[in-house]
Structure 1
Amino acid sequence: MSGSATQGIKTVLHPVSDLAAAKSVYTALLGVAPVADESYYVGFETGGQHIGLVPGGAEQGMTGPVTYWQVPDIEAKLAEVTAAGAVVKEPPHDVGGGRLVATVTDPDGNVLGLLQDK
């Protein structure tokens, strides 16, 4: 392998149709209050992972939860996985605070996320 290893799945985003209802369920499930609680996104930190709720995610093309693999260099990993057969779905972009995200699809159409913190 020429690229660097991922740091594992650190972020999982779930599309939700009713943010308030989903927030109640995930708060009960995780046993912690959200660290981000906005009308456009609710996020939880637990067990070394970030669990996010994305209202209207289905309308944005999310067909289920999307796992985000933490990588040290998103451009290098994107080049590596596309050379191996993945197709870019969403190119890298900053989602705030210097955090970069991108998504690709594997040969079966599964969506895989890449995440790079600054």
Structure 2
Amino acid sequence: MTAGLKTVIYPVKNLARAKALFSALLQVEPYADSAYYVGFKDAGQDVGLDPNGHAKGMTGPVPYWHVTDIRTRFAALLEAGAQTLEDVHDVGGGRLIASVKDADGNLIGLVEDTAAE
């Protein structure tokens, strides 16, 4: 079961320029602002900027499905033919993420907020 699509992460090459663009679009300041990730919250949506995304194989924005059991969902996607892009790992604050690529090259992300449990 999922809680829906609530997060999208964009791979960016110039973090400062992308931060300025999304600040102008969303008209909010980032809630997370570091050299490895900038995150915005707006209207229940989490928008992230990842300056290392291209190096991780991100070819464009990745939608992240919020799930209650990331390891089970991740395994189910692999069983259904997806390929691992990013294995399940902790990104801090009790948040686990992972991503896969389907047979058509589409990227699918998963998020589990273990701190909220």
Determine if the TM-score, normalized by the shorter chain, exceeds 0.5.
yes
Q: Which runs of no fewer than 5 residues in structure 2 stay unpaired?
A: none
**Aligned AA for 2:35?**
S
Q: Secondary structure at the match of 1:59?
A: helix
Instruction: Return the index of the structure with the highest Cα Rg.
Output: 1
- The CA RMSD measured in Å over matched residues stands at 1.2
Residue 52 of structure 1 is matched in structure 2 by 48
Confirm whether residue 26 of structure 1 aligns to residue 17 of structure 2.
no
> What is the total number of aligned residue pairs between the two structures?
114
Greater Cα offset, 77-86 or 91-100: 77-86
Q: Which residue of structure 2 aligns with residue 78 of structure 1?
A: 74
Q: Which has the higher helix share?
A: 2
- Runs (4+) of structure 1 moved beyond 6 Å? none
- Determine whether 1:93 maps to 2:89: yes
- How far residue 60 of structure 1 moved from its aligned partner, in angstroms, is 2.6
Deviation track 1:29-80 (CA, whole Å, cap 9, x = no partner) reads 0111110111221100111111011113223321111111000000111122
Unpaired segments of 5 or more residues in structure 1? none
Provide the secondary structure at the position in 2 that maps to 1:21.
Answer: helix
Q: Give the Cα separation in 1 of the matches to 2:75 and 2:53.
A: 26
Q: Please, what TM-score do these two structures have when normalized by structure 1? A: 0.89
SS of 2:55's equivalent? Answer: coil
